[in-house]
Structures are given as structure tokens and as C-alpha cells.
Amino acid sequence: MQSIIAPLAALGAGEVDLQGGPDSDHLAFQEGVPAIDLAVENGEYAIHHHAATDTVDKINPRMLSLDTAVMALAAYEFANSRAIPGRRLSAEQVHQYLHDSGLADGFAILYGPGKP
């Protein structure tokens, strides 16, 4: 994965974080499907994310352009990679990953016990 996204380093998104977190918007879709959360400069994300202040007027055009470029380049790099960046995990493997990474309790709080 690191080698596939290496070209994104110039945009500040060339690092892979294997930890993840139960509060990520994409985690509910994980269900064993390889997922990546590309991180760029947070800006005011923590201040406005999912809050009443999270309105269109808070969009920073530069950050939106940067994030869009990162997503487009990541899609391009993955589509053209000869390497397979991941594989689908079974429900048991997902459960084990959540347990081993310490994410099981947070996942259960957000999505219910017995998930995935």
C-alpha cells in the first residue's frame, strides 16, 4: 500500500496508517473489504465535522482542491498498480482484526454488539 500511494507524498498524503478508528465514516463499510483513509491537512475538520457549524461557507477552496487531487491520484495509482493492495477478510478475520487492534469496543458502541 505504501508504495502505491508514494506519489501522493508531494500532496501531504503519502503515509499509510494501519490503525484506523471506529469513528471513521468509512468503517461501517469495511466489513472485510480493504479500505483506505487518505489523510491530508485537517484544517478545521475537528471543529466543524458533523456539527451545526458544518456548512458550505466553511469550505476552504484550496483544501477542497487538494483533497480532490489526492483522491483522484489515489484512484489512478490503485487502478494502475500491478500489486494487489489488500484482500477481503472473512467475518472472523474482521472480528479478530478489531480485537487485536483494540477497536472492538468502540466499533460495538457505534454499530452494535456482534458486528461485523
Residue 28 clears pLDDT 60, i.e. is over it: no
38 and 1 Cβ atoms separated by less than 8 Å: no
74 and 7 Cβ atoms separated by less than 8 Å: no
Residue given cell 494502475 in the structure block: 80
Q: 28 versus 69: which is more confidently predicted?
A: 69
Q: Is the pTM of this model over 0.75?
A: no
22 contacts: CB under 8 Å, gap ≥ 6: 103, 106, 107, 109, 110, 111
pLDDT tens-place string over residues 32-67: 666 677 767 777 877 887 889 889 998 889 888 888
Residue given cell 500511494 in the structure block: 5
Grid coordinates representing 81?
498498480
89 contacts: CB under 8 Å, gap ≥ 6: 32, 97
Cα–Cα distance measured from residue 108 to residue 15, given in angstroms and rounded to the nearest whole number: 28
